[in-house]
């Protein structure tokens, strides 16, 4: 009995040692990453403790923890703040719709480019549609405002021709539409690249076999191309679910003239803009950190859930 | 098994991180250059692109045996940068923060409490010019905590503290008013004459892309000013002796309806809600706006005049003075209305950790720059080199002050003294004898100032100002929420005028939590006192 | 040598993807849709350009210009003479070359190590990394960390904290994992260790993917401004985007004194925006060819 135990123990350490030695070069390659993530991601993580304190910059974070600990009081305060839940609902709505719309637009764009038979135009168009991705929202938003504003190029043209102007920046519903379309404008081409590449990887044998069966183009798209990009699509969707609660701060911030457009701001207020407002108006640091922590926890839970669902449906998850 | 290993390691990592987070005290003891000059780091918004290197700065540094380093805050991210520095314990020796925040007193107390800022010596008699500066500062009592000031308010006008209202007012196209026959002599308009002018402008402009009335973004809706008592949240009800919500008082609501009326009638520029600060002003420069509400400090007024001259080059006998006339409007109660402000809106702070020696040195330098001699140095330069004094009059030596071909005036010189002086004064006190400033503009603004002073004496001017006791009050809920409350209220006001809040009842409903609680807290505070 | 191997790979072989068809009615429809979308994207840039070359007197009277009878390039002259813009350009170039190389190096070796089948602690490290995609400590501890590392007011703060981007690292990992296992096995039989296998076999095969990830990093570096804004007060190390942002948000303080008859703030602003996107416009079409070919990110299947 004893002997077996000892030999088992020896076996464990022996195999451990063997495994470490055999993968020593890989471990060496991963060491920079471990240091990097420990320093830049894990060390700052103790900052979440600020959410439970009345933060004092002189005491520092640990000093505030030991002397100004307030428990869950910051959370109670933010949950009581009436705009918080409106903002939360808005964030979920905008964030999830954005994921859906950007997913559909990227796949459609990829299909169009993949299917089109004009090589020169195709290359040109692909360069054009991917390009806006490289611009920051500061620039893109000022472009949109210049063109679509009440007195911008579009409305100038409409009113000159005796048509009713379109108030993109005054009507909350139109503005939300504009938000989604500007996202498509900027990112559709870019996000389609990954799908185009995946489509390029689908074996041509499948298409040739379908040709022999006399399948139409739409049938081939439906039965070969779309299933071919499914794993990629699911992987990207799971990854993007974690970002639901982020919903695009940069975009909203700049499209609402630094959050000052009163006609539309209530329709697009999200958690990140609330945090920005808290920081700018001198709300206690503990409360803005609490909002951030709340957001992270929900986002993480969403990713885990989606991942489980994907796995239950027989797909490869990420975790 | 694997899960527990993961959890334990995660716990170990986090506690490690907590331990490493404790350290990191910054050494802020005095440091000297090789030739024995004390190093001082400065960061200020007004430095813009100035980085030193001129001979005036070298002279100043030699005189006081210091070595400055200059950095500027960026306009767009000023608050973010200051907050980052303060919370990260990374403030420079001398830094600059915005006081224009409604919640400033709360910050101020917190920074004192959290040992971010260093107190000035309680006895300022050694620095008589700085002491005089404090004498000329409005509401300075609010800044004195336990007998100390904790920073220098950067004041707008050191010589005349009696000006308690701001130059936030209307500029209009007198030439157009004359052309359309609605001009009133001396630019003085009663409320009905003003409405008539807007109506005439709006009719004449219809469909041409021009608009009768535009407020620069920060000041919109300016029409309400004629109907309210205080600029921000807390109005005082004389009958009940209670603080009430300014935005739902009866008089405010009349103003609100008036503004909405102007918007629907098409008097107002329709894009007020999407405009950014400065956009509407630019439209005025482009002949698109008839009446503009903005802040007409010297610099802005001069800029408007220059811009209008340029954009009307093709117009024969264009009169720039007619295009930049200040309009004097009396409200329905027969009074002018101007927002009351303090004469300072930002402060220079000293890092808590710097030595007394360094702070005194810095005060010596600022005190000298505020003196007669130092001011001359900052504006003109060095005597007998840049300027000479002939019969008590300052005369520039032309060889060193070439004319700038682009502006037709004396070229501006890079002078470090001027920038360091900005740490204590906005420079308004030097305008009248600055060779670069336009005397006509100064005289015109002064005459308007004088008119308003007379109106104040004759009880014809309403100065919108929150009572100091409530403005500087710091209580739990108020200090948390007042700033957000003001932002939200402004949003509702603009929504109502734009029409996205349909009725007054719905507008009033918007003022839910935390409004009643904060008002109750304030009223309880004064009741107990 | 490397090129030969790429051609041997089944996935990278086809430049012309998808099924082959004759030009049909559906292509006309697709052509029109794509053309409209492309025009919608081009128009704002066209407008931006027109504003930058419209003389102030015309622009002042009609800001909604879509055509100008007279043009002025004075604003571009101003931009080219602006010291701050060139300085920002220089700093951004340092980030673009130095930073990108540094980021590619660390991201690639990490991705490679995590792509290999089994080694001690792999799952643990992987989970630890994934957690960081969702949790962060917030601004204050990050600021304190950067400060205690002595990186404030240095150019390093815009490079070092970006060493590994988790998303790009996962792309690399998936790509490596998708390459045939036999490559590794045969090399191991020849007695090569992991580092040798990585450098001699996998790296040459992954050049297209390196180009892709490199472009991701390069674009990030080109647009980088946030860390610089927050941690650097020294104007001499502002990035191009920081300079541009200052110009857009506070023109009066950041636009040099110009001749107002020939050029106004709007000209200068739009010209400056154009200046920052011209390099991308010039290089992107060439990189793009390499890049789309390179994204045999079909690798993501791996």
Chain A residues in contact with B512 (beta carbon < 8 A): 82
Structure letter (DSSP) for residue B347: E
Q: How far is CA A237 from CA A231, A272, A294, A312, B480, in A?
A: 10, 21, 22, 16, 39
For helices B372-379 and B356-370, what crossing angle results, to 10°?
Answer: 80
Which of the two residues, B95 and C205, has the higher pLDDT score? Answer: B95
- Interchain CB contact of A151 with C (< 8 Å): yes
What is the DSSP pairing of strand B152-155 with strand B461-464?
unpaired
Bridge partners of A69?
Answer: A53
Our CA angle for B170, B175, B181, nearest 5°, is 100
pLDDT over 80 (residue B1): no
- Residue B171 to residue B373: CA distance in whole angstroms: 37
Could you tell me which of B45, B41, B57 has the C-alpha nearest to residue B416?
B57
Question: Would you say B60 and B417 are in contact if contact means Cβ atoms under 8 Å apart?
Answer: yes
Instruction: Tell me the ipTM for this assembly.
Output: 0.85
pLDDT over 50 (residue B23): no
A100-122: pLDDT as tens digits: 999 999 999 999 998 888 888 88
- Output the CA torsion A193→A197→A198→A204 (10° steps): 140
Cβ within 8 Å, pair C259-B406: yes
Question: Would you say C132 and A42 are in contact if contact means Cβ atoms under 8 Å apart?
Answer: yes
Cβ within 8 Å, pair C147-B88: yes
Which of the two residues, C137 and C13, has the higher pLDDT score? Answer: C137
In chain A, domain spans = 2-67, 78-312
A24-54: pLDDT as tens digits: 888 888 999 999 999 999 888 888 889 999 8
- Residue B220 to residue C15: CA distance in whole angstroms: 58
Task: Calculate how close chain A gets to B140, using CA atoms only, in Å.
Answer: 22
Cβ within 8 Å, pair C129-A43: no
Quote the pLDDT of residue C299.
Answer: 39
Query: How deeply is C257 buried, as exposed, middle or buried, from its count of CB atoms within 10 A (0-12, 13-18, 19+)?
Result: exposed
Which among B19, B74, B314 is the top mutation candidate for probing chain C, defined by the most C β-carbons within 10 Å of its own β-carbon?
B74
Average pLDDT (B278-296) is 89
- Interchain CB contact of C28 with A (< 8 Å): no
Question: Would you say B22 and B15 are in contact if contact means Cβ atoms under 8 Å apart?
Answer: no
Nearest residue, CB atoms, C143 vs list B87, B282, B286: B87
Residue in C closest to A46 by C-alpha? C137
Quote the pLDDT of residue C225.
Answer: 85
Structure letter (DSSP) for residue B253: H
- Interchain CB contact of A146 with C (< 8 Å): yes
Chain B residues in contact with C230 (beta carbon < 8 A): 77, 80-81, 84
Quote the pLDDT of residue A163.
Answer: 87
Query: How deeply is B503 buried, as exposed, middle or buried, from its count of CB atoms within 10 A (0-12, 13-18, 19+)?
Result: exposed
pLDDT over 80 (residue C200): yes
Both tokens of A29, joined, read 């390659």
- Give the Cβ contact number of residue C54 at 10 Å: 25
Q: Three-state SS for A256? A: coil
Contacting A residues, span 160-199, partner chain C, CB-CB under 8 Å: 185, 188-189, 193-194, 196-199
Considering only the C-alpha atoms of chain A, give the largest distance between any 2 of them, rounded to a whole number of Å. Answer: 97
How many Cα atoms sit within 13 Å of C4 on the Cβ side?
Answer: 2
Which of the two residues, B112 and C67, has the higher pLDDT score? Answer: B112
Nearest residue, CB atoms, C235 vs list B49, B287, B406: B49
Q: What are phi and psi of B360, to 5 degrees?
A: -65, -40
Q: What are phi and psi of B480, to 5 degrees?
A: -70, -45
Question: Would you say C126 and A318 are in contact if contact means Cβ atoms under 8 Å apart?
Answer: no
- Residue B26: inside a domain: no
- Interchain CB contact of C265 with A (< 8 Å): no
Chain C residues in contact with A41 (beta carbon < 8 A): 132, 136
- Range from A129-133, A304-308, B21-25, B186-190 carrying the lowest mean pLDDT: B21-25
Tokens 């990207």 sit at which residue? A236
Three-state SS sequence of B399-431 = HHCCECCCCCCECCCCCHHHHHHCCCECCHHHH
Could you tell me which of C143, C281, C267, C268 has the C-alpha nearest to residue C222?
C281
Of the pLDDT bands very low, low, confident and very high (cuts 50, 70, 90), residue B368 is very high
% of chain A surpassing 90 pLDDT: 26
How many Cα atoms sit within 13 Å of B483 on the Cβ side?
Answer: 22
Quote the pLDDT of residue B201.
Answer: 96
- Residue B119 to residue B136: CA distance in whole angstroms: 20
Quote the pLDDT of residue A34.
Answer: 92
Cβ within 8 Å, pair C234-B71: yes
- Output the CA torsion C136→C140→C143→C149 (10° steps): -80
- Range from B103-107, C139-143, C259-263 carrying the lowest mean pLDDT: C259-263
Task: Calculate how close chain C gets to B213, using CA atoms only, in Å.
Answer: 17
Instruction: For residue B421, give its domain range.
Output: 38-160+343-434
Quote the pLDDT of residue A316.
Answer: 67
- Residue B309 to residue A221: CA distance in whole angstroms: 64
Cβ within 8 Å, pair C138-A292: yes
What is the DSSP pairing of strand B152-155 with strand B144-145?
unpaired
Distance from chain centroid for Cα C135: 24
Q: What is the CATH number of the domain that holds B81?
A: 3.40.190.10
Cβ within 8 Å, pair C119-A27: yes
Quote the pLDDT of residue B159.
Answer: 52
Burial string for B133-164 (b: 16+ CB within 10 Å, else e) reads bbebbbebebbeeeeebbbbbbbbbbeebebe
Question: Would you say C110 and A32 are in contact if contact means Cβ atoms under 8 Å apart?
Answer: yes
Assigned CATH for A78-312 = 1.10.3720.10
Average pLDDT (C230-248) is 86
Chain A residues in contact with B114 (beta carbon < 8 A): 56-59
Distance from chain centroid for Cα B168: 11
Our CA angle for B420, B422, B426, nearest 5°, is 165
Sheet strands (E) in B391-486: 393-396, 461-464
Cβ within 8 Å, pair A46-C161: no
- Residue B483 to residue B504: CA distance in whole angstroms: 23
Contacting C residues, span 157-216, partner chain A, CB-CB under 8 Å: 161, 163-164, 167, 169, 193-195, 198
pLDDT over 70 (residue A3): no
Quote the pLDDT of residue B161.
Answer: 46
pLDDT over 60 (residue B395): yes
- Residue B287 to residue B291: CA distance in whole angstroms: 10
Quote the pLDDT of residue B128.
Answer: 92
Average pLDDT (B464-475) is 88
If you count them, how many residues does chain A have? 319
Cβ within 8 Å, pair C61-B43: no
- Give the Cβ contact number of residue C126 at 10 Å: 16
- Residue B510 to residue B506: CA distance in whole angstroms: 7
Quote the pLDDT of residue C220.
Answer: 87
Could you tell me which of A34, B58, A296, B235 has the C-alpha nearest to residue C125?
A34
B115-172: pLDDT as tens digits: 999 999 999 999 999 998 888 888 888 889 999 999 999 876 555 545 567 788 999 9
In chain C, domain spans = 2-10+77-301
- Interchain CB contact of A117 with C (< 8 Å): yes
Question: Would you say B387 and B397 are in contact if contact means Cβ atoms under 8 Å apart?
Answer: yes
Chain B residues in contact with A284 (beta carbon < 8 A): 480
- Residue B398: inside a domain: yes
How high does pLDDT run on average in chain B?
86
Number of domains within chain B = 1
Structure letter (DSSP) for residue C164: -
Q: What is the pTM of this model?
A: 0.84
Quote the pLDDT of residue C301.
Answer: 39
What secondary structure does DSSP assign to B200-236, as a single string? HHHHHHTTTT-EEEEE-GGG--GGGGGG-S-SSSEEE
For helices C265-294 and A172-200, what crossing angle results, to 10°?
Answer: 30
Quote the pLDDT of residue C18.
Answer: 46
Average pLDDT (C24-45) is 91
Question: Would you say B348 and B44 are in contact if contact means Cβ atoms under 8 Å apart?
Answer: yes
B425-455: pLDDT as tens digits: 877 667 766 777 788 888 888 889 889 989 9
Average pLDDT (C129-154) is 84
pLDDT over 80 (residue A195): yes
% of chain B surpassing 70 pLDDT: 91
pLDDT over 80 (residue A12): no
B289-295 β-sheet, strand order: B188-189, B325-329, B168-172, B289-295, B211-215
Nearest residue, CB atoms, C147 vs list B24, B306, B313: B24
Cβ within 8 Å, pair A43-B21: yes
- Residue B169: inside a domain: no
Chain C residues in contact with B74 (beta carbon < 8 A): 229, 242, 245-246, 249-250
Which of the two residues, B76 and B235, has the higher pLDDT score? Answer: B235
Nearest residue, CB atoms, A197 vs list C113, C225, C296: C296
- Residue B148 to residue B137: CA distance in whole angstroms: 15
Question: Would you say C171 and C209 are in contact if contact means Cβ atoms under 8 Å apart?
Answer: yes
Cβ within 8 Å, pair C233-B311: no
Measured on CA atoms in the order A214, A220, A223, A224, is the torsion positive or negative?
A: positive
What is the DSSP pairing of strand B66-72 with strand B38-44?
parallel
- Residue B338 to residue B485: CA distance in whole angstroms: 22
- Residue C59 to residue C1: CA distance in whole angstroms: 58
Sheet strands (E) in B234-324: 234-237, 242-245, 289-295
From the DSSP assignment, how many helices (H) and strands (E) are in chain A? 16, 0
Task: Calculate how close chain A gets to C249, using CA atoms only, in Å.
Answer: 10
Size of interface A-C (CB pairs under 8 A): 262
Quote the pLDDT of residue B9.
Answer: 61
Which of the two residues, C61 and C205, has the higher pLDDT score? Answer: C205
Both tokens of B391, joined, read 């019969």
Cβ within 8 Å, pair A82-B270: no
pLDDT over 60 (residue A5): no
How high does pLDDT run on average in chain A?
85
- Residue B69: inside a domain: yes
Of the pLDDT bands very low, low, confident and very high (cuts 50, 70, 90), residue B105 is confident
Residue in B closest to C142 by C-alpha? B88
List the subunits that have 3+ CB pairs under 8 angstroms with B. Answer: A, C
- Range from A138-147, B13-22, B389-398 carrying the lowest mean pLDDT: B13-22
Write the CB contacts of B244 (distance below 8 Å, at least 6 apart in sequence).
Answer: B234, B235, B236, B237, B519
Of the pLDDT bands very low, low, confident and very high (cuts 50, 70, 90), residue B18 is low
If you count them, how many residues does chain C have? 302
Write the CB contacts of C46 (distance below 8 Å, at least 6 apart in sequence).
Answer: none
Assigned CATH for C2-10+77-301 = 1.10.3720.10
- Range from A61-65, A181-185, B328-332 carrying the lowest mean pLDDT: A61-65
Quote the pLDDT of residue A206.
Answer: 87
C93-114: pLDDT as tens digits: 999 999 999 999 999 999 999 9
Structure letter (DSSP) for residue B411: P
A171-191: pLDDT as tens digits: 889 999 999 999 999 999 988
Of the pLDDT bands very low, low, confident and very high (cuts 50, 70, 90), residue C65 is confident
Burial string for B229-268 (b: 16+ CB within 10 Å, else e) reads bbbbbbbbeeeeeebebbbbbeebbebbebbbebbeebbb
Average pLDDT (C250-254) is 68
Residue in B closest to A148 by C-alpha? B274
């Amino acid at each position: 009995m004893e002997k077996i135990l000892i030999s088992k123990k020896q076996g464990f350490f022996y195999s451990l040692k063997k495994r470490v030695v055999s993968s020593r070069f890989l471990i060496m390659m991963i060491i920079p990453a471990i240091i990097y993530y420990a320093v830049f991601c894990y060390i700052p993580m103790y900052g979440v403790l600020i959410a439970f304190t009345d933060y004092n910059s002189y005491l520092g974070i640990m000093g505030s923890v030991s002397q100004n600990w307030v428990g869950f009081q910051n959370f109670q305060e933010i949950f009581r703040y009436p705009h918080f839940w409106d903002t939360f609902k808005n964030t979920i709505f905008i964030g999830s719709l954005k994921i859906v719309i950007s997913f559909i637009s990227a796949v459609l764009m990829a299909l169009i480019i993949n299917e089109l038979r004009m090589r020169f135009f195709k290359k040109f168009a692909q360069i054009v549609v991917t390009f806006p991705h490289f611009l920051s929202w500061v620039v893109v938003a000022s472009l949109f405002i210049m063109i679509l504003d009440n007195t911008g190029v579009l409305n100038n043209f409409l009113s000159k021709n005796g048509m009713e102007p379109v108030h993109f920046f005054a009507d909350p519903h139109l503005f939300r539409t504009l938000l989604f379309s500007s996202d498509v404008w900027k990112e559709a081409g870019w996000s389609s690249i990954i799908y185009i590449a995946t489509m390029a990887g689908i074996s041509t044998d499948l298409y040739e076999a379908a040709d022999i069966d006399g399948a139409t183009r739409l049938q081939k798209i439906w039965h070969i191309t779309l299933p071919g990009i499914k794993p990629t699509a699911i992987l990207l969707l799971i990854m993007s679910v974690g970002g639901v609660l982020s919903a695009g701060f940069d975009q909203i911030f700049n499209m609402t003239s630094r959050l000052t457009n009163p006609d539309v701001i209530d329709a697009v207020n999200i958690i990140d803009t609330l945090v920005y407002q808290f920081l700018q108006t001198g709300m206690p640091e503990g409360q803005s950190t609490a909002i951030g922590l709340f957001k992270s926890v929900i986002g993480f839970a969403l990713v885990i859930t989606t991942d489980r669902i994907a796995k239950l449906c027989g797909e490869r998850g990420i975790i | 098994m694997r899960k527990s290993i993961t959890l334990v390691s995660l716990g170990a990592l986090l506690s490690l991180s907590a331990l490493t987070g404790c350290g990191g005290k910054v050494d802020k003891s005095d440091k000297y250059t090789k030739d024995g000059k004390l190093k001082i780091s400065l960061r200020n918004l007004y430095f813009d692109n100035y980085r030193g290197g001129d001979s005036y700065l070298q002279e100043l540094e030699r005189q006081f045996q210091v070595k400055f380093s200059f950095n500027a805050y960026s306009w767009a991210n000023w608050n973010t940068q200051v907050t980052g520095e303060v919370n990260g314990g990374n403030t420079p020796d001398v830094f600059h923060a915005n006081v224009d925040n409604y919640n400033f007193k709360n910050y101020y107390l917190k920074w004192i409490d959290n040992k971010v800022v260093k107190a000035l010596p309680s006895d300022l008699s050694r620095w008589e010019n700085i002491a005089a500066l404090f004498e000329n500062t409005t509401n300075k009592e609010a800044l004195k905590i336990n007998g100390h000031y904790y920073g220098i308010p950067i004041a707008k006008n050191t010589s005349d503290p009696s000006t308690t209202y701001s130059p936030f007012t209307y500029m209009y196209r007198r030439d157009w008013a004359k052309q359309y026959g609605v001009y009133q002599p001396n630019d003085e308009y009663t409320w009905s004459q003003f409405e008539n002018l807007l109506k005439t402008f709006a009719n004449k402009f219809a469909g041409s892309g021009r608009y009768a009335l535009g407020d620069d973004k920060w000041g919109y809706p300016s029409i309400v000013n004629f109907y309210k008592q205080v600029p921000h949240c807390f109005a005082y009800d004389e009958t009940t002796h209670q603080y009430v919500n300014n935005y739902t008082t009866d008089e405010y609501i009349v103003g609100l309806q008036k503004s909405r009326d102007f918007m629907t009638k098409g008097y107002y520029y329709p894009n007020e809600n999407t405009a950014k600060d400065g956009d509407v002003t630019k439209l005025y420069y482009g002949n698109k706006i008839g009446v503009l509400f903005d802040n007409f400090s010297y610099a802005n007024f001069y800029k408007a005049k220059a811009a209008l001259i340029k954009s009307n080059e093709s117009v024969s006998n264009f009169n720039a003075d007619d295009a930049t006339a200040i309009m004097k409007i009396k409200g329905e109660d027969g009074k002018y209305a101007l927002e009351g402000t303090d004469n300072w809106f930002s402060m220079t702070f000293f890092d808590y950790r710097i030595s007394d020696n360094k702070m005194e040195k810095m005060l010596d330098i600022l005190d000298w720059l505020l003196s007669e001699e130092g001011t001359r140095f900052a504006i003109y330069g060095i005597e007998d080199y840049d300027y000479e004094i002939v019969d008590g009059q300052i005369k520039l030596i032309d060889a060193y002050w070439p004319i700038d071909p682009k502006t037709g005036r004396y070229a501006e010189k890079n002078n470090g003294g001027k920038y360091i002086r900005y740490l204590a004064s906005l420079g308004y006190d030097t305008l009248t004898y600055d060779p670069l400033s336009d005397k006509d503009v100064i005289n015109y603004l002064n005459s308007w100032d004088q008119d308003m002073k007379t109106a104040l004496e004759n009880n014809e001017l309403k100065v919108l100002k929150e009572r100091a006791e409530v403005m500087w009050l710091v209580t739990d809920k108020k200090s948390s929420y007042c700033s957000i409350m003001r932002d939200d209220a402004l949003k509702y006001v603009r929504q109502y005028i734009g029409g996205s809040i349909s009725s007054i009842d719905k507008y009033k409903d918007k003022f839910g939590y935390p409004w009643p609680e904060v008002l109750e807290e304030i009223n309880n505070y004064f009741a107990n006192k | 040598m490397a090129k030969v191997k790429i051609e041997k790979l089944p996935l990278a072989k086809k430049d012309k993807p998808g099924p082959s068809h004759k030009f049909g009615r559906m292509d006309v429809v697709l052509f029109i849709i794509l053309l409209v979308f492309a025009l919608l994207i081009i128009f704002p840039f066209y407008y931006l350009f027109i504003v930058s070359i419209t003389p102030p007197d015309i622009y002042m009277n009609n800001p909604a210009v879509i055509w100008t009878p007279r043009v002025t390039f004075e604003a571009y002259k101003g931009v080219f003479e602006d010291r701050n813009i060139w300085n920002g350009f220089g700093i951004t170039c340092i980030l673009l070359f130095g930073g990108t190389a540094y980021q590619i190096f660390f991201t690639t070796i990490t991705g490679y190590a995590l792509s290999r089948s089994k080694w001690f602690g792999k799952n643990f490290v992987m989970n630890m990394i994934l957690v960081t995609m969702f949790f962060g400590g917030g601004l204050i501890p990050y600021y304190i960390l950067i400060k205690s590392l002595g990186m404030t007011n240095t150019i390093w703060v815009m490079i070092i904290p970006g060493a590994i981007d988790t998303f790009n690292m996962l792309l690399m990992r998936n790509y490596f994992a998708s390459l045939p296992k036999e490559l590794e096995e045969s090399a191991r039989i020849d007695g090569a260790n992991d580092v040798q296998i990585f450098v001699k076999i996998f790296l040459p095969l992954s050049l297209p993917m390196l180009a892709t990830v490199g472009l991701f990093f390069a674009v990030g570096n080109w647009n980088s401004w946030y860390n610089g804004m927050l941690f650097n007060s020294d104007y001499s190390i502002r990035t191009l985007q920081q300079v541009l942002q200052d110009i857009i948000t506070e023109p009066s303080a950041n636009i040099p004194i110009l001749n107002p008859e020939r050029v106004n703030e709007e000209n200068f602003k739009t010209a400056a925006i154009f200046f920052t996107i011209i390099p991308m416009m010039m290089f992107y079409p060439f990189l793009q060819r390499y890049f789309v070919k390179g994204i045999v990110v079909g690798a993501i299947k791996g």
